[in-house]
Amino acid sequence: MTLKPELIEQISERLLDAERTCQQINMISDEFANLSYKDVYSIQLRGIQKKVQAGAVVVGKKIGLTSKGMQAQLNINEPDYGIIVDKGVFREGKPIPTNKLILPRIEAEIAFLLKNDLKGPGITVASVLKATEGVIPAFEVIDSRFAGKITVKDSIADNASSAAVILGGRITPIADIDLRLVGMVFEKNGQVVASATGVEVMGNPVQAVAWLANKLSEYEIPLQSGEFIMSGGITSAAKVEPGSFFSASFDRLGSVSVLFE
């Protein structure tokens, strides 16, 4: 199925309105049974274009569904991606209001800060390592503007369920670090809820960034110098409630924390 431009316009506006009002809407996969990936990525891109036209600035990109378990659960064989604007980045130490979210969850991730552009096809792990200024401990808050159990295509249209990003305060060069072996401890209100190593992210978080650069080449979109790339959740996401305090401590990379109010 290929949606007409006017439908892409309408659906992207419905999603933006749902985000502004914190009111969920019906899933587009129920309304349009044969949506293509081109359709839903076009909806996502139009929504970002509207935000940029309203003054937002694209500052990064995100990769989702990087674990084999999540891919098997949704019956897909590759991750998805979204685009991050400046208004979605929150300062560490500043509480995030939950009344601006619907059903938020949080993931601990490794963010890549780029010093050079990356444009596929043909991007490899070596290309990513060469283009990376350093990595940053980070959180991503995911939220859905759709009611019900969404499909991966609904999530893509909804900018891969992106809601907020919190970056830690330390950038670490990765020339001598194998990110597959970097351990992470994820805590909620002082209690450990999960731990894992970077290998959980597509076998290597660097590989996830390479995948994204090559995938975006299908749409003539580069990863640009100065952007940060969220490489995907290392563990499953944790539920967020008012008063929740989360921290993630990474071996050799530092830590990141956030409070919700």
Mean pLDDT is lowest, of 61-65, 113-117, 240-244, for 61-65
Evaluate whether 41 touches 219 at the Cβ level (below 8 Å): yes
pLDDT at res. 214: 95
Evaluate whether 103 touches 144 at the Cβ level (below 8 Å): yes
Evaluate whether 72 touches 241 at the Cβ level (below 8 Å): no
Model confidence at 161: pLDDT above 60: yes
pLDDT at res. 101: 96
pLDDT at res. 33: 83
**Residues 163, 106: Cα–Cα separation, whole Å:** 10
Q: CA angle 12-14-17, nearest 5°?
A: 110
**Chain center to CA of 171:** 19
pLDDT at res. 71: 60
Model confidence at 72: pLDDT above 90: no
Question: What structural domains and CATH numbers belong to the chain?
Answer: 58-259 (3.90.850.10)
**Three-state SS at 234:** coil
Mean pLDDT of 131-135: 98
**Residues 136, 223: Cα–Cα separation, whole Å:** 17
Model confidence at 165: pLDDT above 90: yes
Evaluate whether 213 touches 220 at the Cβ level (below 8 Å): no
pLDDT at res. 109: 97
When pLDDT is cut at 50, 70 and 90, the band that residue 79 belongs to is confident
User: What value does the mean pLDDT of the chain take?
Assistant: 93
pLDDT at res. 257: 98
pLDDT at res. 64: 84
pLDDT at res. 150: 81
Model confidence at 69: pLDDT above 90: no
Alpha-carbon dihedral of residues 38, 228, 208, 181, nearest 10 degrees? Answer: -160
pTM of the full structure: 0.94
pLDDT digits over 12-54, tens only?
999 999 999 999 999 998 988 889 989 999 999 999 999 999 9
When pLDDT is cut at 50, 70 and 90, the band that residue 231 belongs to is very high
Residue 76 dihedral angles phi and psi, to the nearest 5°: -125, 165
More confident residue, 244 or 219: 244
| Alpha-carbon radius of gyration of the chain | 17
Burial (Cβ within 10 Å: 0-12, 13-18, ≥19) of residue 45: middle
Model confidence at 149: pLDDT above 90: no
Whole-angstrom CA distances from 181 to 125, 166, 192, 204, 255 are 16, 23, 19, 9, 16
pLDDT at res. 2: 84
Percent of the chain with pLDDT over 70: 95
